[in-house]
Structures are given as structure tokens and as C-alpha cells.
Structure 1
Amino acid sequence: MSIHYRLTALASLLAAALLAGCAGAATPATPSTATPSPSRLSAPVLSPGMAHMMAALPDADVPPATVTEGNQPLPFRMEDGVKVFEITAQPVIWTFTEGVQQVAWSYNGMVPGPLIHVTEGDRVRFVVKNDLPEDTTIHWHGIEVPNAMDGVPDVTQPPIAPGETFVYEFEAKPAGTYWYHSHVDPDIQIGAGLHGAFIIDPATPEADPPDIDKVLVLNEWRFANGQTYGAMPMGGMDPNYFTINGKAFPDTETIHARVGDRVRLRFIAVGQFIHPMHLHGVPFQIVATDGHPVPEGAQLTKDTVSVAPGERYDVEFIATEPGTWMLHCHISHHTTNDGEEPGGLMMMVDVQP
């Protein structure tokens, strides 16, 4: 049993005993061991924020996700020269790592939401349906959009009510690494899973594109006794699970490369904590920040980059040495699963000769 768990359990017992004594109870309280079913999570076992969000769902029935990986490409159809995408905000039961399934709010049933990948200058349209029990919107973080498309409730648009649909349309610009997320109760809704990556390729294709290009969405969560806490309303508790593209190690993806490959990593921090991401074995160059290229003469060579909430860093390195190399957050707590190592924000880069 971890120290964290023992201290938490002890605090719960002491608090329960104190309350019982104040009420004149004759016997000490016993902590509940009930575990909610993944297919039926009711409001009483959720955190205050999530309980509020789930209250409008009949019997709080939440389906399990039908996909196992987030950040999958979002398909589109063409209509009169416009790329049309469909996005549905909906609750699901998401598997974060083996044996850890929790309620999440998702776009198209995955966490993080689907990867939007377009070209600079594309005309894009997003038909957004709200299948949540409360209002929502989508904000296109860092992308230059008309004011009416900015996704700020009661400022640039009315919020999207449950069961309603809203259409966003704009020209995708400028090229770079961006993300999209809810702007209604963002401390809760982003933390519950309403976020995704948005990549805009340059109108003129890169003359020398990388051999491998990976989007890595960084987030943190608090799960306790069947409860899913949002990003900030954690009741003074630290997050206890940390994810890359919706998965905690050892269920994070392994990047496969060969010696000589140039690898681009696009870090996107969607939560409320800074994550200093460190790569073993080889330094990298910071080639873009917040979607904007860094001139070659100004690029820093580092082995760790701190990605703050909302920030994006594109880094590149040449795989020079064969072997399995670790990529991880250098805040040690962030590489744990509920206090147990290894876990969390950790993945491997497998370099073959």
C-alpha cells in the first residue's frame, strides 16, 4: 500500500470519526468500498463538478467508448469546395490504462478528441452537436478566426445547449500546431476530456519534411472512489493520473524509428500543470512555439522543454543511436499512476539500426 494511499485513508477515517463524534455517534465510521459499475455511473459517486454535469443524463447511463485510442484523424466530406467535419460532444467511459476506466466527456467518443489535420488556406466547416447534459462551445486555440467563430459563450456566440447544433466556418490559418477545446466551464469541461489537436500544414509543402511527425497531447486527471475531477476542482488534491494522447504508461504509444530518421514531436499541454518533457539519448531543437516557426538561427538545442498550460512546442531530433529511449515528464509525480511508478507521462522511442 503506498504512503499516499495510507495518508488519504487515514485522513478519511479521522474526518469520519470526528463527524461521527460531533453527531453523537456511538460507533466509528467505516469507509465505503463500493465500486461503481463502468456502465452505470450515477451522480452521487462523482465529484461535485462531474455530478453537476451528469445530473441531466437519464439514470446517468454512460456508454463505454467504441474506440481504444484518441487523437485519430477526423474524416471530412467536400461540399462546394469546403471541408465539412462533424463533431459530437458526448460522455463515454474511457480506458486510461489497464484496469482504469472512468467517465470522460469526449469529442466523437475519444479522448483526446479526433485530430483535425488540414492545409493552410482550406475553407473548413465544423458541424458541432451537443450530446452533453449542459451547454458547451468550441474555441479554436491559436487559430486566426472571425470573431463570431471564436467559441466564447455569451461573448461571440450563444452557448450550444444540450441537443442543439452549431456551425463554425472559417479559413484555416496560419500553418502550425494548434488545439481546440470547450470554452464553457473550461476548468471542468477541458479537464473532463473536451480537447483535441488541430494541425495546419503550410500552403507550400515543406521541402524537407520529417520522417516521423507525432502529436502528443499532455493532460492530468484526478480519479478517486469512482469520481472524475476536472482540471481545477480537485478539492486540494494533486492529480493522480497523467496521460499522453489519453493513455497513461505503460499503455502509451511507442514511437518506432530507424537510425537517421528525423523525428518531429508536437507537444500540446491541455491541462493545468506544467510538464517539462525530457528525451533520453539525444538532444532536440525547438523548431516552433505556439504554432509559429522559430528561425533556424534562433533555435535552441535542449533535452528538456517545459510545456505550460495551453502551450505548444514542436521539437525535432535525429535518431542517432539504436535502442529503446525514454521520453517523459521530469516532474516525478507525473510519471506515476495513482502514486505508483512507472506510469503517467512516459513513453518509449524505439530506434532500430
Structure 2
Amino acid sequence: MAEGTPTPGSMMMDNPEAAHMMQPITAPNVQPATEAEGGLPLEYRLEDGVKVFELTTKAVQWEILDGVTVTAFTYNGTVPGPMIRVTEGDQVRIIVKNELPDPTTIHWHGVEVPNAMDGVPGVTQDPIEPGETFTYEFTAKRAGTFMYHSHYKGDVQVGAGLYAPFIIDPKEPLANPPAVDKTLMISEWRITDGRTYAAMPMSGMEPNYFTINGKSFPATETITVKKGDLVRLRFIAIGQFIHPMHLHGVPFKIVATDGHPVPEAAQLTKDTVSVAPGERYDIEFVATETGQWMLHCHILHHTTNDNVEPGGLMLMINIVD
């Protein structure tokens, strides 16, 4: 941190209600995560034709990079939380138990749900208090790329890790499905003097680490595909910063935005797409050239780890014969 920059937790706030933004993320007796990878599909059970999923919010120590650990608020102990993947028309029930020290709710971002299931505290529901359980239930309607995340003090809780992918597959299978289908959730963190803060676009709270699916390069996943494969990447921006994601070596087409398919005649061919907070872009490309091809944010500070390059929002696409 540059000399003279105020320490986040020590800055004076005129508004006591806003002071929570400046405090380090903490919880009693936080243990290391028992899983190393986030965003994996969540198993469900069937009850009278309803797909029932269970989520527990809890704090863990999450490693974003070898030797770099954050205090994270999580769903089921991972960042991102587990992927909920269902099919159009499915009846879905999600049982949420809150083991955080603070209240929380879940908003189903982009998913068409009944108003009572929308997850806005003080509007559609009371917050889920620590130790309490709440059940969300709805029908999975339109297919597409969505997400779920906290909507209680979201500036802190979402930045602390309470987010995950929610995918609704079409009822009629695609005629030409991609050989590789990856979801990439993009976010930011601030670590100061070993303490974790929710990164925000305000002085003294800017991020110094950036993650794809909860990891910073070189800990990000390498995606291996075969030459000739059709590849789909689903970008989901869940932080508070814009990220122009650039792919080396091959152009791509934007085939869906915010869960809505783009008609073929309107699909743009690009090599960079800016993903703003809350946005989702599904891109597809054919892996035509073998080799290691980089995918990264083109705000180049976002490809650093605590100002050291390379790092952050980078991963490798490994195209093999």
C-alpha cells in the first residue's frame, strides 16, 4: 500500500450506518476451508418431484493463491458457492441455514421468481438471522446463465464471497452443444496487514487482489480443450468493478447476454468484452490453434497480485491436438 494511504478500518466515517463497509471481515472461530475449489455442481434430492438443495452460509479461511488466504463468507464453505444447475420447468426448493455472525438473504439474480422469493430484506422477507433457516421455492423458467448472492449488506457480504452460479439448461437439448462449458465468476478482494476487507470503488478500499472462481493467477484453473472443440465460457461479474475480458489467439461470438440468447444474425464477433457488475456474457469459440492461450482482464492492474505482475484475472486456455 502506498505511503500515506489510510488504513481502511481506521478511517473516520460520518455515517455510523456505513461504518460496516470499512471494517475487516471477521467471524468467531473461523476454520480453514475443507474444499479447494468453488462453483462445483451442488447435489440435490427429489421430494415429490421437487429438486431440493441445501445451503449453509458460514465463514472460512479461503486460499486465493499459494500463501494468500482471505476470511470469506461462503455458501457451503467455498468461493464461489456451489453451482445450482437445473432444467427449464423444474420445481426448485433451496433450504438456507445461516451460520454467519450476521443476518443474510439470497437474491436469485436474473431468475424469474415469485416476489416473496426475491430475497430483499425488509421488502420481500425478513433477514435470515444467525442460526435461522429459510426456504426459497420457485419454478425454474427461462434457460440461461444466472447467479445467486447475498442481498443483505451486499457491499460487504457479496465482496466477502457470498455468490455462486445458477444455470438453467433448456428443456430441449441443444443440437450442437459445446464440448467444453465453463462458468467464470469475476470478483475482487482487499487484503491489508493480513486482514480481509470487502473491496469497493472508494478511496482506501480499492482491491489489491482479483479472482476468477475464487482464485488469483497462477492458482486459476487451466482450461484444456481439443483442437476443433466448440467452447463456451460464461462470464459472470459479481464484484464492483468493470472487467474487459480479452482472449488471445482466437475470436469469439457473444451468444447470450444476461441469460438471454442473442439471435445468430446479431451475434458480435469480438476478442474483448467488458463485463460490468451484475452482467453475464456467454461467449463461444472454436479452438483452432494449438498452444497456451491467455484469457485476462485488459485493465492491466487487474492482472496483478498486490501490485505484482502476473496475477489476478488471468487463466490459460490450453488447446491440444
SS of the aligned residue for 1:206 comes to: coil
Q: Could you say which residue in structure 1 is the equivalent of 2:70?
A: 102
Larger Rg: 1
The AA in structure 1 aligned to 2:48 is D
Q: Could you say which residue in structure 2 is the equivalent of 1:195?
A: 163
Deviations 1:219-271 (A, max 9, x none): 01111112211132865342100000000000000010111000000000000
SS of the aligned residue for 2:128 comes to: coil
Higher strand share: 2
Q: Could you say which residue in structure 2 is the equivalent of 1:217?
A: 185
Deviations 1:93-129 (A, max 9, x none): 0000001011110000000100111101100000000
8 Å CA contact 1:50–1:228 kept in 2: the answer is no
Q: Could you say which residue in structure 2 is the equivalent of 1:334?
A: 302
8 Å CA contact 2:224–2:319 kept in 1: the answer is yes
CA distance in 2, matches of 1:220, 1:232: 9
8 Å CA contact 1:69–1:110 kept in 2: the answer is yes
Identify if the C-alpha distance between structure 1 residues 236 and 136 changes in structure 2 by more than 3 Å, giving closer, same or farther: same
Q: Aligned ranges for residues 52-91 of structure 1 at < 5 Å?
A: 54=26, 57=27, 60-91=28-59
Are residues 1:260 and 2:228 paired? yes
The AA in structure 2 aligned to 1:249 is F
8 Å CA contact 2:58–2:76 kept in 1: the answer is yes
8 Å CA contact 2:251–2:285 kept in 1: the answer is yes
Aligned residues: 311
The AA in structure 2 aligned to 1:327 is L
Q: Aligned ranges for residues 159-238 of structure 1 at < 5 Å?
A: 159-232=127-200, 235-238=203-206
Q: Could you say which residue in structure 2 is the equivalent of 1:129?
A: 97
CA distance in 2, matches of 1:134, 1:184: 9
8 Å CA contact 2:21–2:155 kept in 1: the answer is no
8 Å CA contact 2:241–2:277 kept in 1: the answer is yes
8 Å CA contact 1:274–1:306 kept in 2: the answer is yes
Identity %: 66
SS of the aligned residue for 2:241 comes to: coil
List runs of 5+ in structure 2 lacking aligned partners.
11-18
8 Å CA contact 1:188–1:233 kept in 2: the answer is no
The AA in structure 2 aligned to 1:175 is A
8 Å CA contact 1:53–1:133 kept in 2: the answer is no
Match of 1:315 among 283, 289, 310: 283
Q: Aligned ranges for residues 22-33 of structure 1 at < 5 Å?
A: none
SS of the aligned residue for 1:207 comes to: coil
SS of the aligned residue for 2:43 comes to: coil
TM-score normalised to the size of structure 2?
0.93
8 Å CA contact 2:105–2:119 kept in 1: the answer is yes
Are residues 1:139 and 2:83 paired? no
TM-score normalised to the size of structure 1?
0.85
8 Å CA contact 2:25–2:160 kept in 1: the answer is no
